[in-house]
Structure 1
Amino acid sequence: MEVNSLHDLFVYELQGMYDIENKLVGALDELATETSNQDISRAFAEHREETEEHVTRLEESFRALDETPERQDNDVVNGLLSEHDQFQSIATNEDVRDMFALNAGMKSERLEITGYEGLLMLADQLDFGTDVTDPIESNVSDEKQALSDLQELAGGSKLKSLVSRLTG
Structure 2
Amino acid sequence: MFHPTVYQGTLEENYETVLLQLKGLTYEESDLIANLSNASALLNQFLEDINWVGFYLNKGEELVLGPFQGLPACIRIPFHKGVCGYAATTKQTVVVKNVHEFPGHIACDGATNSEIVLPILKDGELIGVLDIDSPRLNRFNEIDQKYLEQFVQIIVETIPTN
Q: Same fold (TM over 0.5)?
A: no
- State TM-score, norm by structure 1: 0.26
Q: Choose between structure 1 and 2: higher strand proportion.
A: 2
Structure (1 or 2) with the larger CA radius of gyration: 1
- State TM-score, norm by structure 2: 0.27
